[in-house]
A and B are shown apart, each in its own frame.
Chain A
Amino acid sequence: KNEVEQSPQNLTAQEGEFITINCSYSVGISALHWLQQHPGGGIVSLFMLSSGKKKHGRLIATINIQEKHSSLHITASHPRDSAVYICAVRARNSGGSNYKLTFGKGTLLTVNP
Chain B
Amino acid sequence: EVQLVESGGGLVQPGGSLRLSCAASGFIFSGPYMHWVRQAPGKGLEWVGRIRNKANGYTTEYAASVKGRFTISRDDSKNSLYLQMNSLKTEDTAVYYCGRENYYVDVWGKGTTVTVSS
Chain B associates with chain A: no
